[in-house]
Amino acid sequence: MDRVRAKTLTRARVLQLGLVVFLLGAIGYWGFLAGGLNEPFAGIASAGILVFVVLAWIGSYLLRVVTGKMTFIEQRKRYRDAYEKLTETELSKRFDALSEEEQIRLMEDLQGGSSSNKTSD
């Protein structure tokens, strides 16, 4: 199976993201001050941009939830596909390794077992 390494949100990663957001706010504030806005308006503008970024991030998350494109769902689908492929390959190898008589007996057992299950319901 192909292993895809996903970045997990550990405590350290959350703290790093919080620091990045804080720094973005500070950079935006200083940028607005340098652009000629006075202190209250620079603070409001930088806070407004940060609120917009957070709302866009939440919106992208909600879109992934609604469309089913979340990381866990995608990871689970890839795992399931790989598992089914591996299982089919393994079963095919085992079936081919059986003698012709054993293959016929197994097929008869499977056909007989599925019909007896249907009649017992």
pLDDT by residue (tens digit) across 8-42?
A: 778 888 899 889 988 988 999 999 999 999 999 99
Question: Please, which pLDDT band fits residue 121 given cuts at 50, 70 and 90?
Answer: very low
**3-state SS of the chain: helix, strand, coil percent to 5?**
85, 0, 15
* Type of residue numbered 13: R
Nearby residues of 28 by Cβ (< 8 Å), 6 or more positions away: 45, 46, 49, 50
| pLDDT value, residue 18 | 85
Alpha carbon distance 89, 116 (integer Å): 28
CB 13 within 8 A of CB 7: yes
pLDDT in tens, 41-84: 999 999 999 899 889 988 988 888 888 777 777 888 888 998 88
36: left (phi over 0), alpha (psi -120 to 50) or beta: left
| pLDDT at position 71 | 77
69-73, 84-88, 94-98: least confident range: 69-73
Q: What is the pLDDT of residue 1?
A: 44
